[in-house]
Structure 1
Amino acid sequence: MKLQQYFQAYDFDEIYPQIGLMYPNARHQREQFRHAYDILLGIKPVNSKKQIRYQLMEDPDTNEMFFGADDSCFRGPWDVLLGKEVKREPKVDLTDVELVANMLLNVVLQGRHPRSFDADYATIIR
């Protein structure tokens, strides 16, 4: 399934609690993350042959294992990210809601957002 299809399948209110668990600062930034979600739902995706692959990964600083996708998967303009295929390795134990929340968080923090999101992005990364 494409990233855009995951976003279309869930309402923001379904995924927002998971965002707060993954990124505690987001608990006070609901409006900014909602704005990002609304923008993403309105953007026309650019087809991409690249994938966002969720797998078991190791944190290089702590050596802890976690499920995630490489940061490089989310570096690019939002329209290109929306056109990427999302793959989940068989042993990845994330619910779809957790997956969508993680993808939104990564898109917002690492992707190249449109100018209309500049003010909200500045608030998020403070």
Structure 2
Amino acid sequence: MKLQEFLQAYAFEEIYPYIGLMFPKGRKLKIQFGRAYELLLSIEPIPSKKKIRYQLMQDPISKEIFCGADDNDFNSGWNVLLGKDVNKDSQADITNEEMVANCLLNVVLIGRHPKEFDEDFRQITESK
């Protein structure tokens, strides 16, 4: 399923609680993440053959095993990211709600956002 279709399948209220679990600072940034979600739904995707793949990964420092997608999968403009397929390996223990929330979080933090998101991005990334 394309990322845009995946986002369209869930209401923001369904995935927002997972944002706070994955990014505790996000618990105070519901408005900003909500605007990112709405903006992503309004952008025309550019078809891409690349994928966002969730798999078992190992933290290089702690050696802990976790389920996630490579950060490089999100290193692109929002319109290109919306056109990528999202899938998971059979060993990846992650729900669809967790995946879409993680995609939203990574698109916001890693992806190249449009200019109209600059102020919200600043608020999300400033340290407090």
Structure 1 position 91, deviation (Å): 1.1
Aligned partners of 2:65 and 2:50: how far apart in 1? 24
Structure 1 position 87, deviation (Å): 1.6
Aligned position for 1:53 = 53
Aligned position for 1:89 = 89
Structure 2 counterpart SS, 1:54: strand
Aligned length: 126
Aligned partners of 1:14 and 1:36: how far apart in 2? 15
Aligned partners of 1:118 and 1:19: how far apart in 2? 20
Aligned partners of 1:125 and 1:36: how far apart in 2? 13
CA RMSD of aligned residues (A): 0.5
- TM-score normalised over the length of structure 2: 0.97
Where does 1:111-122 land on structure 2 (aligned, <5 Å)?
111-122=111-122
Identity %: 56
Structure 1 position 61, deviation (Å): 1.5
* Cα deviation digits, residues 14-65 of structure 1 (max 9, x gap): 0000000000000000000000000000001000010111100001111111
* Letter matched to residue 16 of structure 2: Y
| Unaligned segments of structure 2, at least 5 residues | none
- TM-score normalised over the length of structure 1: 0.99
Where does 1:70-109 land on structure 2 (aligned, <5 Å)?
70-109=70-109
| Unaligned segments of structure 1, at least 5 residues | none
* Cα deviation digits, residues 68-105 of structure 1 (max 9, x gap): 00000000000000000112101111111001000000
Q: Does 1:40 align with 2:40?
A: yes
Which aligned runs of 4 or more in structure 1 are off by greater than 4 angstroms?
A: none
* Letter matched to residue 63 of structure 2: N
